[in-house]
Chains A and B, each alone.
Chain A
Amino acid sequence: MPRTERPDAPAYLARYLERAGRSVTHEEAADDATPLYLRRFRERRENVDPFESRVPSYDGQQINTTRGWAEVTRTKEIVPERREQAAQVATDVYFVRHGETQGYSSESGLTPLGSWQSHRRGQEIARRVLDGHTVRIACADTNRARQTAEHLRRGLLDGMSLFGREATVGEIVAYREFQNFGVATPEGLRDVTSAFRLYAKELEAFERTSMGERPGWLVEIDRFWKIQNGGGDPITHWLTMPLLHFEPPVSAVRRFWAGLLRIHRETPGNSVVVTTHSGPIRAFATWAMGYDPGEPFNTEFVRVRLIDGGVTALVLYRNRVQEVQVPDLDSLPDWWSGTATGRDVAEEVR
């Protein structure tokens, strides 16, 4: 028998016939292996009313417009924790980045998408709230952070009623410790958003009158906003470049710890949602992880859980958990007294 003659039907024919034998109706189409685009095409050809066609179950592989975002914001705990384990957690803090904003250079607050994101985030956090808990909400004192907190709080209440959780949700309190990093301007320390107005005004004056050398703070903040305008990432710039007039990242980390420990002292054992800005959040995560884990997306959060009665903490971000020692703020080196200022170095040491 020549090689081209087969005594038996090929296996692929059997597979094909078996598949063809299952007649597919639109009712079953959602479980069919036919790709969605082809199903939709056929339905268009057959004039199937789009309202009649089966809605496909969500598949992250297929509908991946927000896939990257979905992947890094996936629920972190694979194993649900038991109550007795949860009891060991002293305080549980979420540092949530604000939602999509109208702009970073003005106090114009969130876009509609940003408020929707915040609401969704609140609903998601509601799943992690246990009965009898108290959830407190803190925010940085900017419009975008405060609006994020407001929408998140509504989402949290909605979600809790949806999941049937009995917990207390506090009012929104603004904390100075959680504000965005600041810039030292001639008019004092301003957060980077409110410094923008001053910067724009000064720069415009310089350009209009050709006043000569620009002061250092203006040069640095100009670089910062130029990176933003060029589509770059000014936060990376702030994290990695020594800047004489910007609050250093480490100071933001210390502020965050100070706020966190204050909350822990005042109300131990609560969950706290802090809506704030990506710069200090990212600085905090970078400090904890020992490398830069990247800019948080809108409403993405870094979670800090104080355990062992507040001696150590778990820092959770993007599926990574890092155990850290809670720093004793009083015993940390203070770089701003002594020799670090550049003024007090004795003649013979220079």
Chain B
Amino acid sequence: MGILRLGHVDVTVTDLDLATAYYTEVMGLVVVERDADSVYLKCWDETDHHSLRLVYAPRVGFDLMSFKVEREDDLSDLENAVSRYGFPVQRVSKGESVGQGESIRFATPSGHVMELVHDVEKVGGLLPKVNPAPFVTGVPGIAPPRMDHLLVTAEEVGEATTFYTNVLGFRVTEQLLDGNGHQIGTWMERSHSPHDLAVVAGPNGGLHHFAFWLDDWEAVRKAADTLAYNGIQIDVGPTRHGVTRGSTIYFFDPLGTRNEVFTGGYRPDPDFPTITWTEDNIGRAVFYYEGELNDRFMKVHT
């Protein structure tokens, strides 16, 4: 019922070769398919067609976020819900986007293009489905098993959160309140993880980062090794979040989109009571070890 998980993130890049080189050699994703202006990539443990699309464009930015829904009927239900809320919904028919069937697209109050899709082509994962080994070998770079979440920016965090929760059924696991009690950050989930989608204060339509899942802290440490070895610019970390309790590194892909590797956290059920952070604790909330935010983290987004 409803949204299942983050499906794929589509970002625009100005250099397809450089971006593909980074995401395959350093991040360890695999190229599933290419077409005229884009490259479709997935992580080794994902079975759907792709979880990251790199689209060529004259500027670096955020194209859309796509979430997978559990049943085909959810598409029409959510289409109705979004239309009734006052946002026009566009149907994308089968064959128009690579690797997936019919989907719906609409703009959200936070100014992002959001796509919902049920029918996604199954490519299969690197491990067999019969007696698989518990790990893979020979994947270069960091090799995260899957994409985990993304964080977008919005001018009205509260308004955006209302839409995502009341209309799309997201559940708020944590929120960050300013002195007036207004939300300046919310973390929302559908997949029983600390967050699938998060919104923080910033310009509408911005992408702060998208994140790959790693299995444990040891993998985060190895990821830091890989990043440093390849000369990737690290933004923050390795460190730990107060919000979501996850362990993390933030870094930039060669074109300036921020990535994250993330592990840990908790397993919230639908009745998980929202955790609240206050703005005076914002440093501890975001970076528990440092206790303060850096300027770049606050300002740079795509």
Produce 1/0 per residue, B111-141, CB < 8 A to A: 0000000000001111010111100011001
A12: Cβ under 8 A from any B Cβ: yes
Kindly identify which residue among B123, B141, B231 contacts A10, using a CB–CB cutoff of 8 Å.
B231
Produce 1/0 per residue, A30-71, CB < 8 A to B: 000111011011100100000000000000011111011000
Q: Which residues of A contact B18 (CB under 8 A)?
A: 13
B: number of interface residues (CB 8 Å): 29
Of residues 143 through 166 on chain A, the ones whose CB sits less than 8 Å from some CB of chain B are none
Complex Cα distance, B233 from A33, in Å, reads 28
Complex Cα distance, B123 from A35, in Å, reads 11
Q: Is the CB of B233 within 8 A of A3?
A: yes
Q: Is the CB of B17 within 8 A of A38?
A: no
Q: Is the CB of A63 within 8 A of B128?
A: yes
Q: Is the CB of B137 within 8 A of A16?
A: no
Q: Which residues of B contact A61 (CB under 8 A)?
A: 133, 137
Kindly identify which residue among A16, A41, A42, A45 contacts B20, using a CB–CB cutoff of 8 Å.
A16
- Nearest B residue to A41 via CB reads B123
B22: Cβ under 8 A from any A Cβ: yes
B230: Cβ under 8 A from any A Cβ: yes
B74: Cβ under 8 A from any A Cβ: no
Kindly identify which residue among A10, A38, A45 contacts B230, using a CB–CB cutoff of 8 Å.
A10
Q: Is the CB of A64 within 8 A of B17?
A: no
Produce 1/0 per residue, B1-32, CB < 8 A to A: 00000000000000001101110111000101
B203: Cβ under 8 A from any A Cβ: no
Given A38-B30, A38-B32, A64-B128: A33 and B138 within 8 A (CB)? yes
B101: Cβ under 8 A from any A Cβ: no
A241: Cβ under 8 A from any B Cβ: no
Q: Which residues of B contact A41 (CB under 8 A)?
A: 32, 123-124
Q: Which residues of A contact B17 (CB under 8 A)?
A: 13, 16-17, 20
A164 to chain B, nearest CB (A): 36
15 cross-chain CB contacts under 8 A: A10-B230, A10-B231, A12-B22, A12-B26, A13-B18, A15-B25, A16-B17, A34-B30, A37-B124, A38-B124, A41-B124, A61-B137, A63-B128, A64-B131, A64-B133
Chain B residues in contact with chain A, CB under 8 A? Answer: 17-18, 20-22, 24-26, 30, 32-33, 123-126, 128, 130-133, 137-138, 141, 230-231, 233, 252, 254, 256
Given contacts A17-B21, A42-B33, A63-B128, 12 further A-B contacts (CB under 8 A): A12-B21, A12-B230, A16-B17, A20-B17, A35-B30, A37-B123, A38-B30, A38-B124, A40-B124, A41-B124, A65-B130, A67-B131
